[in-house]
């Protein structure tokens, strides 16, 4: 990654982010509700070699009240509570979501520098003038702070089991 | 006492999300953790033995940075430590 935050090439991971359509819409609507501020939350689910599967999305408070239009931060105490709730349900933290008000759904230099949950999916929604547009997912891959990298991750939005199958796919 | 391991570090604990350690203080407990799983050390600590800036450690629900005795705080079997890497960002 260059000093100005740009990457010379994009990499797409084979690992998918699978999310039920109800939760997909929930995290997008969250960004609309908090507009013009960034929303943020935690994705709970399970991980496998195929990727991360989301089973719940938990809203979190944005502690960056000083600059909420372009910054977010989740308090560790809140993560502990959410992680505990997940553990009781047999779920892990598999990712995080936040919104970019009037800004592309692409990770920024700040997003990258502040990303430390290797193996997790970072989901970003562009909320344009109060309406959710594109939602993209980026897998934080690597083995350490020194070789971590974001990789574009395909999002599979799944219908409920009753209906079966996959409604559509959003390729980022 | 239990130490809860966050998702990104479980690759170093044999995929365990909870590790049992002994120790009378936070420092001893964390030392026990990195003795059991030496690969964790560089992900938690700098070369001079301090917690990395983005690694938050909570004793039950309290950030250990703000405890009077910090890492020397006494712990019991009923306590737990949670390791929580920071989560933040923005455009």
Q: What is the ipTM of this complex?
A: 0.92
The SS3 of residue B90 is: coil
Q: Which residue of B has its CA nearest to A116?
A: B85
| Short-list A60, B82, B32, CA closest to B40 | B32
Minimal CA separation from B84 to chain A, in Å: 6
| pLDDT tens-digit series, residues B57-84 | 999 999 999 999 999 999 999 999 999 9
Instruction: Say whether pLDDT at A2 is over 50.
Output: no
Mean pLDDT across A78-105: 96
Q: In this structure, what DSSP letter does residue B71 have?
A: G
A155-158/B55-59 β-pairing: unpaired
Interface residues of chain A, partner chain B, Cβ below 8 Å: 38, 40, 47, 64, 67, 70-74, 76-77, 79-80, 83, 87, 92-94, 96, 98, 100, 103-104, 107-108, 110-111, 114-120, 122, 143-145
| Residue A87 to residue B4, Cβ atoms within 8 A | yes
What domains sit in chain A, N to C, each tagged with a CATH number? Answer: 16-170 (3.40.140.10)
Minimal CA separation from A122 to chain B, in Å: 10
Q: Is any Cβ of chain A less than 8 angstroms from the Cβ of B63?
A: yes
| B8's tokens | 């990104």
| Residue A71 to residue B54, Cβ atoms within 8 A | no
Mean pLDDT across A89-106: 97
The SS3 of residue A109 is: helix
pLDDT at A1: 44
| pLDDT tens-digit series, residues A106-134 | 999 999 999 999 999 999 999 999 999 99
pLDDT at A10: 83
Query: In this structure, are residues B43 and B9 in contact, taking their beta carbons and an 8 Å threshold?
Result: yes
Mean pLDDT across A64-93: 94
Mean pLDDT across A30-44: 97
| Residue B4 to residue A98, Cβ atoms within 8 A | no
* Sign of the C-alpha dihedral computed for residues A134, A56, B14 and B1 taken in this order: positive
| pLDDT tens-digit series, residues B15-26 | 999 999 999 999
| Residue B90 to residue A117, Cβ atoms within 8 A | no
Say what percent of chain B tops pLDDT 70: 100
- A159 pLDDT band, cuts 50/70/90, is confident
A-chain residues near B91 (CB < 8 A): 70, 100, 103-104, 108, 110-111
pLDDT at A106: 97
What domains sit in chain B, N to C, each tagged with a CATH number? Answer: 2-85 (3.10.20.30)
| Residue B86 to residue A73, Cβ atoms within 8 A | yes
B-chain residues near A98 (CB < 8 A): 89-90
pLDDT at A90: 95
pLDDT at A8: 52
pLDDT at A162: 59
- B28 pLDDT band, cuts 50/70/90, is very high
């Amino acid at each position: 990654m260059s000093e100005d935050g740009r990457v010379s090439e994009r990499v797409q991971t084979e690992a998918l982010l699978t999310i039920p359509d109800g939760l997909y819409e929930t995290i997008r609507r969250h960004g609309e509700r908090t507009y013009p501020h960034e929303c943020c939350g935690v994705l709970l689910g399970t991980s496998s070699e195929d990727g991360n599967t989301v089973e719940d999305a938990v809203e979190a408070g944005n502690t960056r009240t000083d600059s909420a239009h372009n910054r977010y931060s989740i308090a560790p105490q809140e993560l502990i509570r959410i992680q505990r709730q997940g553990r009781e349900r047999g779920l892990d933290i598999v990712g995080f979501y936040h919104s970019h008000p009037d800004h592309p759904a692409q990770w920024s230099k700040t997003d990258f520098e502040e990303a430390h949950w290797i193996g997790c999916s970072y989901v970003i929604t562009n909320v344009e003038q109060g309406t959710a547009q594109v939602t993209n997912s980026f897998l934080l891959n690597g083995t350490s702070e020194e070789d971590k990298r974001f990789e574009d991750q395909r999002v599979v939005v799944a219908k409920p089991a009753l209906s079966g199958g996959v409604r559509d796919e959003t390729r980022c | 006492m239990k130490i809860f391991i966050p998702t990104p570090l479980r690759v170093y604990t044999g995929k365990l999300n909870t590790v049992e350690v002994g120790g009378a203080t936070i420092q001893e407990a964390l030392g026990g953790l990195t003795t059991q799983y030496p690969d964790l050390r560089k992900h938690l600590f700098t070369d001079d033995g301090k917690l990395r800036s983005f690694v938050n450690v909570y004793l039950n629900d309290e950030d250990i940075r703000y405890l009077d005795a910090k890492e020397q705080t006494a712990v019991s079997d009923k306590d737990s430590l949670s390791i929580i890497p920071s989560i933040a960002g923005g455009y």
